[in-house]
Amino acid sequence: MLLVDIIQVTFWYVVFHAYQWAMAVVMWFVPTALARTVAEHHFAQYGIKVTMENSSDHKNDDDDSTGTGSAKLLHDDKKYTCEVVVRNPDLFRRVQVEDILGIGESYMVCVCFRDWMKLECCVSRSLPFYPTDQLQMKSEFDSLLLTILLAQEGWWDADNLAEVLRAGMVGPASWMEALADKWLMAWNKQTILQSLVVARLHYSLGPELWESMLGPSMNYTSGYFKDDTRTLEEAQINKMDLIARKLQLKPGMKVLDIGCGWGAAAKYMATNYKVSVVGYNICKEQLEYARKLCAGLDVSFVCDDYRNAKGTFDAIYSIEMYEHIGHTNGRSYFQMVDRCLTENGVALVQTGVMADNEIRSCMWTDKYIFPGGEFPYAYEMLTNSKDYGFVTEDLHSLGKSYGKTLTHWYNNFNANWKDKLEPKFGHLVDGKFQRMWNFYLAGGIAHYEMRLCQCLQITYTRLSRKEEYVSVR
């Protein structure tokens, strides 16, 4: 089996990169003006104006290039809803070669290899040829490179980043995306060891970021916005209470929280429904925060992989942890549920799912945000559970709640950036952390508003359960 996996991964790796090189050769002969015209025509269909910086049709001394995606640009409001300002004309050809990875990196201003070599060569010429101290030379070299990178602006900006990304997602996936998906899906990226990568790189960034972005609820998952919901905090309470009611919690029950995050849901269940909660998580920083948050409550936490969960529980839930499981491990998740759930227990999974014909991996997100992350398809949530004798009692779409949740996060992040976040995170990703994070959040908003992704709550009971299950809203 290992040999087959290696052959499969190697095959798709070669095919993907061969196609990318072929596209690079083709685009070398395509005039920039032609590539620009194609881009302008596409975005104009969706009310988006594409202009070159310093051109006659874009004049704005107040252009904001801080990375908030809300620059005050000038355009005819009657004809256009927003504007894209391009600073580097190479963008039009780079997007054709690198697809979403090129779009994201050019927004962040991660230089491509060719440009990096030119930059490195120029910096080298500015330093002494015979350094007396090699270490000092290296330090000065790196410092100068970083200074140049920090001074660079993105290749493009927009006054409504989510709107631009949404327009870019219209239509079928490109060949580049499809081949990248084949390559990224060709092996199990969520083994017990590999799962630790995303815990270390993403969830361990520090509580300052999450508190500033998520607000008091510390829920890094979609809230549930009802018609009368006004705040993010209300939406998160709605979500946690809805899960508790769907699980039919009663005082004294034992509940298993898979993923558990910073412990907010476990605290809510224990406080409001008087149940005993055990949370499993592999991120030590999250567990440290969760233990402090739930001090004095009947809540305990275990630093271990979900596949190693032990004990018997009356209810089991996971809130948007399933995206870190991967398509090759779906059965192992429900195998764990089968092992740990009582005969009459209820299990619930809240997860984002992709439409069945959509690409479920993303080169840019895999590289910068969620290494190994992968959205399941909705049908997999039904077939994987059925193999272990579970019945799907309820499938509930949270509608536009995730788009609204992400919009709140986006606004919170940028509102707190200057005073709270920039001192600690401003230097990360060559000083482009804010632009990277905004691209991530705006991309999420675009996906959910276009309904390429949906957030579902799926409730399961055993086939052998005698008591009728009645769901709630």
pLDDT tens profile 340-390: 999 999 999 999 998 776 777 788 998 999 888 889 999 999 998 988 999
The pLDDT value recorded for residue 76 is: 55
pTM of the model: 0.85
pLDDT tens profile 81-129: 889 999 988 888 888 888 888 899 999 985 544 444 444 454 444 444 4
Average pLDDT, the chain: 84
The pLDDT value recorded for residue 41 is: 86
Sheet holding 341-354, edge to edge: 299-303, 276-281, 254-258, 313-319, 341-354, 453-462, 390-397
pLDDT tens profile 43-75: 888 889 999 887 655 555 444 545 565 555 555
> What Rg, from alpha-carbon coordinates, does the chain have?
24
For a pLDDT cut of 70, what percent of the chain falls above it? 83
pLDDT tens profile 269-319: 999 999 999 999 999 999 999 999 999 999 999 999 999 999 999 999 999
- 347 near 337, Cβ under 8 Å? yes
The pLDDT value recorded for residue 181 is: 77
Residue 118 dihedral angles phi and psi, to the nearest 5° = -65, -45
**Range in 147-151, 198-202, 237-241 the model is least confident about:** 147-151
Torsion of CA 141, 145, 148, 149, to 10 degrees: -160
**What angle (nearest 5°) sits at the alpha carbon of residue 436, between those of residues 432 and 440?**
170
Average pLDDT, integer, range 240-264: 97
Distances (CA, A) of 447 to 164, 336, 439: 12, 31, 12
Distance CA 156, CA 85 (A): 6
Residue 234 has pLDDT above 70, yes or no: yes
The pLDDT value recorded for residue 203 is: 87
Average pLDDT, integer, range 232-237: 97
The pLDDT value recorded for residue 359 is: 77
The pLDDT value recorded for residue 78 is: 62
Q: Bigger pLDDT: 60 or 453?
A: 453
pLDDT tens profile 397-426: 998 999 999 999 999 999 999 999 999 999
Residue 150 has pLDDT above 50, yes or no: no
